[in-house]
Structure 1
Amino acid sequence: MKKLLFLALFSTSLYAQNPIETFTKDMEKKDGFLPYYWDAKKGKVYLEIKQFDTELLYYPTLSQGIGSNDIGLDRGRLGQEHVVKFQRTGNKILMLEPNYAYRAVSKDPLERRAVEESFAQSVHWGFEVLAENAGTALVDLTPFLMQDAVGAIQGISRTRQGSFRLDASRSAMYLPNTKNFPQNTEFEVTITLTGDSPGAYLRQVVPTASVVTMRQHHSFVQLPDNDYQPRAFDPRIGYISTSYYDYATPISEPIEKRYIVRHRLKKKDPNAALSEPVKPIVYYIDPGAPEPIRSALVEGAKWWNQAFEAAGYKDAFQVKLLPADADPMDIRYNLVQWVHRSTRGWSYGASIVDPRTGEILKGKVTLGSLRVRQDYLIAQGLVGNFQTDTSNVEDMLGMSIDRLKQLSAHEIGHTLGLPHNYVASIHNRASVMDYPHMLVELKNGKVDLSNAYDKKIGDYDKWSIIWGYQDFPKGTDEKKALNTIVDQMYGKGLYFLTDQDARPEGSAHPQTHLWDNGANATAELKRVSEIRKVTLSNFDERKLRTGTPMSSLEEVFVPMYMFHRFQVEATAKVVGGVNYKFTVKGDKDLTTTPVNGLEQREALETLLQTLQPDFLKVPEPVLKLTPPRAFGYDANPRETFKRRTGLVFDPLGPPEASAGLTLRMLLNPERLSRLVIQSSFHPSLLSLEETLDKLIGATWKSNASRAGYEGEIARLVDKMMLEKLIELSNNKEVTPQVRAVIMLKLRDLNFWLQNRGISDAKQKAHNLFAMHQIEMAKNRPSDVTMTPTMTPPDGQPIESGYDWLAPACDWELPTFSKGH
């Protein structure tokens, strides 16, 4: 016992003899939120810890990215937020994260402790005390900083780009971005990962692909005061939410509490219809964006002030260029950042959020610089004429710039707390939170882009800001007032449906789609198909600038040929579609109903038109004018059609990609299951039997007389449809009746083929092959050899981005707005 007492006294004496001033002699001190010292001789950072058991926010960031949209490690990517606190035990200091997912919101300390001790916490790091003064300890922060905090190693592995590890010998502090501010302390490090067998995406963007060097950032931020009032989440109006389980909740009430994510905003005079805010929301635009892009981003961002004015605020939302003396890392600056990648990619809006309350502390928008070039390419295909007239360049640039304004507003909307609202397009483009397809019009037989994109905030956006940010006068029944706002919004015909309702495969709402226009998906497909027809009929070498290799014509041709792709996805959802809204008990309209039979049949007939050879054939000028790739201009597989003809352009490649899209959407397993179930309840609705009869009638039974190029397209579509049905007949995920009906229709088709008298050798071979496939599927289904369908070149992202749900990113993310 005496020996232990002596060691304790010796330890205490040692620290008393080693004060911080002595230990940090000749080091550079940086005062601020968390004071730290820089030891230039050892390349280390030492942190002063004064306040123990005081919560603060920690989050990592990728400040210098890899530059590949496919890998997703972009400049400015935010990591997950963590509420942490420093706890000391003897000579050890732990950086501890409490578990705020499970709480007891109670004044009873024993009740709170019961919950805290029931669920695990997380210790992010342990530090040894190196020196101390009264109440202040000094620790070496360097080992904590020298880690792969954003999960780049996992990101590279997840995208199959190789197996990498952190190389500490090639990692160091990056002092230019290691700074202190009044409310936040920022550290940045150069991190080097080394690995073997790097993938193609890495080889494309890294000088030496086996050595990947990036910069990662660590932020420690002061948490806000307790004056923020959370607002309860309502599924009827779109807001990103945060939630936790409150074990102090009475048994008769829901234990899970949900609150919206939003900025703090208060009126100076809550009783005034229009009042200035106590503190405005200010967004700063990256001055690294060139003109005219920079001005477009500023203008689009400013649209949000229209919504805040509707909510009763004067100049509550402001937009400025980031000043030269301002630092984008400062937590006080909401930032719109311009990011470069090697390929076009998603833009997104993310927020740093206080996990305890849902209060947004900083909005961070990332806009990909190559997206605008894709928009310009689409405009080039629509109206470009570089042979006799270059005046259309202004129209092409104008459409691209208008799209940037909408993109700026969209991604900022995510950082205000708003998710996508994909049903808004049915009400005259009522929300910038939709994915907008350019509204191309035909005027006097010519393509017109003057109304391609809206130039203002939408009506739904105003209602969403009114609901989420309204500062009610004292004494107002907030719940009742918020319900009134929802009722008023619904009364205007505006409502909210989002990602889960809009994705083309699996979802079923007939009016909730990505990249569409108008209230009627089928009518819009007809309109878009007419624009496509006019565009393709005028498509030739005039679409290219003089001096451009003719093989580059294909890149311009792709989005024109596939101009109907997103409307096909939308129209397919009418077949087997279901009308519904997000409702709560007490609402007037609680019904969920299938789309009526007439609308479903019209949608089916319109989709079948996209399988016809005259729709699918490639215009003769394109076939004549598209040679193999020019030397020095490698084909980009994402921007060109796949082919089975080697270097030569494949005339059947585009038809296969387009027809494959229609068949995949129409014959979606969930859709077919709905057709069976819906028609069992309502015989007047479209049935699976009728759907397959019309599909077979529009392909096999109407294509037998086709000759030449159109004949080859017809036979291609026949085989694709047949193999899709054979695949579905063995799909265990569909209802048994779907498989039964498909087997019946395959038997009927086989009988029809057996009784056909065909003299044409090509058609005879075609029919023989089909009968062989059907017999194989019947007797030995596992032996049926399917030809993989060539898919279209990437469509998304054409305009919007990742905004809130990143399609290619499944790592842990902060509160997001993917994608557009």
Structure 2
Amino acid sequence: MKKIYFLILLAITLATAVNAQKPADIESKVKGLTKYTGYFNFYWDENTGRVLLEVDKLNTEFLYVNSLPSGVGSNDLGLDRGQIGDSRIVKFVKSGPKILLIQPNYAYRAVSNNADERKSVEEAFAQSVIWGFKAEAIDGDKVLIDFTPFLLRDSHHLADRLGSSDQGNFNLDESRSAIYLPNTKGFPENSEFEATITLDGKAKGSEISSVTPDPNSVTVRMHHSFIKLPDDNYKVRKFDPRSGFYDMSYMDYATPIDQPIVKHMLTRHRLQKKDPSAAMSEAVKPIVYYVDRGAPEPVRTALMEGAAWWNQAFEAAGYKNAFQVKLLPEDADPMDIRYNIIQWIHRSTRGWSYGASIDDPRTGEIIKGQVSLGSLRDRQDFLIAEGLLQPYEDGKPVSGKMLKMAIDRLHQLAAHEVGHTLGLQHNFAASTNNRASVMDYPPPAFTMGTDGAIDLSNAYTTEIGTWDKRAILYGYQDFPAGTNEDDALNSILTETLKQGQLFITDEDARPEGGAHPLAHLWDNGKNAADELNRLMDIRRKLLDNFSEKAIRQNAPMATIEEPLVPIYLIHRYQVEAASKMLGGLYYTYAVKNDGQPTTRFVPPAEQWKAFNALMLTISPNALALPEKLLEKIPPRPDGYPRTRELFKSRTGLTFDPMAAAESAAATTLSFMLQPERAARLVEYNSRDVNQPGLIAVIDKLIAATWKTPQQGGYKGELQRMVNNLTLKQLLTLAANTRAPESVRGIALMAIDDLKRWMYISLRSAGDNTNNKANLIFGLSQISAFEKEPAQFKPAQPVAMPDGSPIGEGDF
């Protein structure tokens, strides 16, 4: 009897074990749950807060994108609402009870009909398993998985970014994280998921503390998109470095040995004419952008109008109404992949705007464009206009010109960022060619009449540029059947070059290391030195007449400093531009036999003109503020603290005109003696003795500073401050191990010569105590340097207030 009972018990146990190992069917598992249909069907369990995903496309590739629909609000941290995170091709692969989400490696491919050849490359490079799931239920080729842990994670790596920016140590708190159901939706070609994520930690940074109610508890929302990949009807277009487009590249190991293994293709939207043979045709499917409903008027209209400028370029390419701008429908989700979005982003301080896109890594096709425009940018333009116009006169109506200039800027800004999402790079040479591209960074263009009145009527462009039309033609022209596309594209570029269009982009335009004399950020004019001289003349007149008319009625007098900052520093970016003429090099992105000149030295006369223009910016006359203005700037009152947008002060609570001057002069000198520029001056002079050499530049610099007779009073103090900055910059150059030894040797020689001159001058200084003090301090700096050159670090000069939008970026 015991044996029978034992056998029965064993049978029951085995049956239970078998049943326990057999997954339940999907229907029974999801009974009573809310179903969402879409690209992937999923189910919501209200009782447990879980999302169960039905995987019915095993081994099928799709696009996975994570993003940040609600952000942190700090420019410095760069975690904005609407920010797109990682975008990658993935697929679900089943292995027994496990379901792996795998990311193939599309950076290395074999574009071949030979399956074994494709497999050999696939197996040669690592893939990535993003997540592993356990099957909750199985029905044939369908698998049900608990998707909740995947969604309730720090997919945007906020904790890492807060830690790396020294804001504190944070970790995900699952107890304070949950699915955000309103933005968890299903659509035919995409499934959208969102979660409220809370990071718990110990905050220590000022940035996170300034934008969170409790800095130890940072709560945002993270979004996940599963997107059907586009069909195979998109035609890849070859990349050309002269085209102005971004490229996407990969290594193709099936390439014949006599061809380049790296393949380059444009990133662009899919656009086709209904009739490719027609000079003008409607598009099969137009490109439509939608503007954020949260943007207020008149901003919203400006964004829609500015973005719509691009239709001018598409019309020039033969498309009728192919680029459209609409208001986002009320029930639309901005994170939905079907909508190209222009978002109005709020932050605690003014920051960069940017245009990003979600692309197909296989082809470069842009699936979605997403523009983020900082809501405080227009206020900076309004502030600049206040300083230029000083419009607040008692008893007179306030001019509408400030608002118009700010709105005009928004038109241009919207067009610029949308251009990025169409695939276009910056063109920082366009400002020298009658503002030929909205893809440049534009400062307001203004003039001053003989009566001293500022004219802002042409501050910003009002339409798409001539370069932009040529770029769109290259990227989006739809050619009739039978056309040799390579020949047709080369013909477009040849005509673009014939028109005198010039394209120079980011790295070449940055002040650190940049050498091109025509490619700059925030500059105007055909010649950087001429424009700098023009700006300095206007700036002097503006400063001489600057007053409380620049601030509103009942504003504290101390707030004169707000509009004063952009006027005092109105030349700051033109200084960058002019400095690049010194030791500069003209060049193009020429390809073999395209007829373009490749490189050419800047003529010596142009370089010395730039040198003289730069020296004028550090003269006492340029740096001084009028006494009548200084008398009107009291310390900041309660409620109006000093911010990063204002000048630094070394005089405590009082306004410090010397610090303002130091920040401006130090910037000029740092660009003039920048290590890479110094190295070019040495090299170019060795190749052509007519080129200004570093020795000649330093000699002229010292002659115009230390060796110029000192003035008295306020301007004498400014002069001595510039003397000290000049010496510090030379000492820094001599100690810089990144600089070539030839450069460091020249700097050391100049310092030694200056030291001997200082000793002689000190003996003949007489009763001029200020001059003596200046010489003694200079000699002490040289002595400290000579004792330990490798350890010498002169005191850092006062930094300028923020100029470009705050935070990392542009885009």
TM over 0.5: yes
Structure 1 residues 14 and 140: CA distance shift in structure 2, 3 A: same
Partner of 1:693: 699
Structure 1 residues 242-279: Cα deviation after superposition (integer angstroms, max 9, x where no partner): 11111100011011101010000000000000000000
1:130 aligned residue (125, 136, 155) = 136
Partner of 1:746: 751
Counterpart of 2:478, as a letter, is: D
Counterpart of 1:760, as a letter, is: N
Partner of 2:800: 792
1:605 aligned residue (608, 612, 616) = 612
2:730 aligned residue (709, 725, 734) = 725
Structure 1 residues 376-431: Cα deviation after superposition (integer angstroms, max 9, x where no partner): 11111111321336545310000000000000000000000001010111110000
Partner of 1:812: none
Kindly indicate whether the alpha-carbon contact (under 8 Å) linking 2:426 and 2:439 is maintained by their aligned counterparts in 1: yes
Q: What is the CA-CA distance between 1:729 and the residue it aligns to?
A: 1.3
Structure 1 residues 197 and 480: CA distance shift in structure 2, 3 A: same
Structure 1 residues 61-83: Cα deviation after superposition (integer angstroms, max 9, x where no partner): 10110100000110000011110
Kindly indicate whether the alpha-carbon contact (under 8 Å) linking 1:15 and 1:132 is maintained by their aligned counterparts in 2: no
Kindly indicate whether the alpha-carbon contact (under 8 Å) linking 1:447 and 1:531 is maintained by their aligned counterparts in 2: no
Structure 1 residues 598-643: Cα deviation after superposition (integer angstroms, max 9, x where no partner): 000000011001110110012223311111111122211x101111
- Report the 3-state secondary structure (helix = DSSP H, G, I; strand = E; otherwise coil) of the residue aligned with 2:399: helix
Kindly indicate whether the alpha-carbon contact (under 8 Å) linking 2:544 and 2:625 is maintained by their aligned counterparts in 1: no
2:90 aligned residue (78, 84, 89) = 84
Kindly indicate whether the alpha-carbon contact (under 8 Å) linking 2:69 and 2:335 is maintained by their aligned counterparts in 1: no
2:275 aligned residue (234, 256, 269) = 269
Structure 1 residues 129-173: Cα deviation after superposition (integer angstroms, max 9, x where no partner): 111223211100000001111111121112211111111111001
Partner of 1:683: 689
- Report the 3-state secondary structure (helix = DSSP H, G, I; strand = E; otherwise coil) of the residue aligned with 1:700: coil
Counting only pairs closer than 5 Å after superposition, residues 390-469 of structure 1 correspond to structure 2 as 391-444=397-450, 445-469=452-476
CA distance in 1 between counterparts of 2:402 and 2:216 reads 41
Counterpart of 2:213, as a letter, is: P
Kindly indicate whether the alpha-carbon contact (under 8 Å) linking 1:65 and 1:76 is maintained by their aligned counterparts in 2: yes
Partner of 2:6: none
Q: TM-score, normalised by structure 2?
A: 0.96
Q: Does 1:707 align with 2:715?
A: no
Partner of 2:357: 351
Q: What is the CA-CA distance between 1:15 and the residue it aligns to?
A: 7.7
Q: What is the CA-CA distance between 1:785 and the residue it aligns to?
A: 6.0
CA distance in 2 between counterparts of 1:307 and 1:12 reads 67
CA distance in 2 between counterparts of 1:98 and 1:694 reads 60
Structure 1 residues 239 and 17: CA distance shift in structure 2, 3 A: closer
Partner of 2:515: 508
Partner of 1:236: 242
- Report the 3-state secondary structure (helix = DSSP H, G, I; strand = E; otherwise coil) of the residue aligned with 2:39: coil
Counterpart of 2:147, as a letter, is: L
CA distance in 1 between counterparts of 2:511 and 2:442 reads 15
CA distance in 1 between counterparts of 2:794 and 2:287 reads 57
Structure 1 residues 212-235: Cα deviation after superposition (integer angstroms, max 9, x where no partner): 001111111111100000111100
Q: What is the CA-CA distance between 1:198 and the residue it aligns to?
A: 2.7
- Report the 3-state secondary structure (helix = DSSP H, G, I; strand = E; otherwise coil) of the residue aligned with 2:755: helix
Structure 1 residues 307-338: Cα deviation after superposition (integer angstroms, max 9, x where no partner): 00011100000000011132222211100001
Kindly indicate whether the alpha-carbon contact (under 8 Å) linking 2:58 and 2:141 is maintained by their aligned counterparts in 1: no
Q: What is the CA-CA distance between 1:16 and the residue it aligns to?
A: 6.7
Kindly indicate whether the alpha-carbon contact (under 8 Å) linking 1:228 and 1:264 is maintained by their aligned counterparts in 2: yes
Counterpart of 2:716, as a letter, is: G
CA distance in 1 between counterparts of 2:226 and 2:548 reads 56
Q: Determine which structure has greater relative contact order: mean sequence separation of CA pairs < 8 Å that are 6+ residues apart, divided by chain length.
A: 1
CA distance in 2 between counterparts of 1:428 and 1:9 reads 83
Partner of 1:623: 630
CA distance in 2 between counterparts of 1:412 and 1:11 reads 60
CA distance in 1 between counterparts of 2:395 and 2:515 reads 45
Q: What is the CA-CA distance between 1:529 and the residue it aligns to?
A: 1.0
Counting only pairs closer than 5 Å after superposition, residues 803-814 of structure 1 correspond to structure 2 as 808=808
Structure 1 residues 7 and 360: CA distance shift in structure 2, 3 A: farther
Kindly indicate whether the alpha-carbon contact (under 8 Å) linking 2:23 and 2:136 is maintained by their aligned counterparts in 1: no
Q: What is the CA-CA distance between 1:14 and the residue it aligns to?
A: 5.6
Structure 1 residues 424-444: Cα deviation after superposition (integer angstroms, max 9, x where no partner): 111100000000011011123
Partner of 2:491: 484
Counterpart of 2:222, as a letter, is: Q
CA distance in 2 between counterparts of 1:651 and 1:84 reads 58
Counterpart of 2:531, as a letter, is: E
Q: Which runs of 5+ in 2 are unaligned?
A: 1-11
Counterpart of 2:164, as a letter, is: R
Structure 1 residues 695 and 791: CA distance shift in structure 2, 3 A: same
CA distance in 1 between counterparts of 2:14 and 2:329 reads 53
CA distance in 2 between counterparts of 1:232 and 1:686 reads 41
Kindly indicate whether the alpha-carbon contact (under 8 Å) linking 1:618 and 1:654 is maintained by their aligned counterparts in 2: no
CA distance in 1 between counterparts of 2:396 and 2:332 reads 42
Kindly indicate whether the alpha-carbon contact (under 8 Å) linking 1:304 and 1:457 is maintained by their aligned counterparts in 2: yes
Counterpart of 1:68, as a letter, is: S
Structure 1 residues 12 and 520: CA distance shift in structure 2, 3 A: farther
Partner of 1:157: 163
Structure 1 residues 282 and 770: CA distance shift in structure 2, 3 A: same
Partner of 1:471: 478
1:572 aligned residue (579, 594, 597) = 579
Kindly indicate whether the alpha-carbon contact (under 8 Å) linking 1:438 and 1:452 is maintained by their aligned counterparts in 2: yes
- Report the 3-state secondary structure (helix = DSSP H, G, I; strand = E; otherwise coil) of the residue aligned with 1:80: strand
Partner of 1:525: 532
CA distance in 1 between counterparts of 2:305 and 2:526 reads 28
Q: What is the CA-CA distance between 1:753 and the residue it aligns to?
A: 2.1
Structure 1 residues 65-111: Cα deviation after superposition (integer angstroms, max 9, x where no partner): 01000001100000111101111112111111111111100001101
Q: What is the CA-CA distance between 1:780 and the residue it aligns to?
A: 4.1
Counterpart of 1:762, as a letter, is: N
Structure 1 residues 24 and 729: CA distance shift in structure 2, 3 A: same
Partner of 2:8: none
Counterpart of 2:262, as a letter, is: E
Q: Does 1:583 align with 2:602?
A: no
Counting only pairs closer than 5 Å after superposition, residues 531-680 of structure 1 correspond to structure 2 as 531-636=538-643, 638-680=644-686
Structure 1 residues 590 and 345: CA distance shift in structure 2, 3 A: same
Percent identity between matched residues is 51
Structure 1 residues 711-737: Cα deviation after superposition (integer angstroms, max 9, x where no partner): 111111101111111121122221222
- Report the 3-state secondary structure (helix = DSSP H, G, I; strand = E; otherwise coil) of the residue aligned with 2:130: strand
CA distance in 2 between counterparts of 1:656 and 1:731 reads 22
Kindly indicate whether the alpha-carbon contact (under 8 Å) linking 1:72 and 1:155 is maintained by their aligned counterparts in 2: no
Structure 1 residues 739 and 329: CA distance shift in structure 2, 3 A: closer
In angstroms, what is the RMSD of aligned CA positions?
1.7
Kindly indicate whether the alpha-carbon contact (under 8 Å) linking 1:422 and 1:514 is maintained by their aligned counterparts in 2: yes
Q: What is the CA-CA distance between 1:366 and the residue it aligns to?
A: 0.4
Partner of 2:76: 70
Q: TM-score, normalised by structure 1?
A: 0.95
- Report the 3-state secondary structure (helix = DSSP H, G, I; strand = E; otherwise coil) of the residue aligned with 2:86: coil
Kindly indicate whether the alpha-carbon contact (under 8 Å) linking 1:237 and 1:495 is maintained by their aligned counterparts in 2: no
Kindly indicate whether the alpha-carbon contact (under 8 Å) linking 1:425 and 1:518 is maintained by their aligned counterparts in 2: yes
Q: What is the CA-CA distance between 1:542 and the residue it aligns to?
A: 1.1
Counterpart of 2:363, as a letter, is: T
- Report the 3-state secondary structure (helix = DSSP H, G, I; strand = E; otherwise coil) of the residue aligned with 2:369: strand
Counterpart of 1:742, as a letter, is: A
Structure 1 residues 784 and 361: CA distance shift in structure 2, 3 A: closer
Partner of 1:197: 203
Structure 1 residues 733-752: Cα deviation after superposition (integer angstroms, max 9, x where no partner): 21222122222222222222
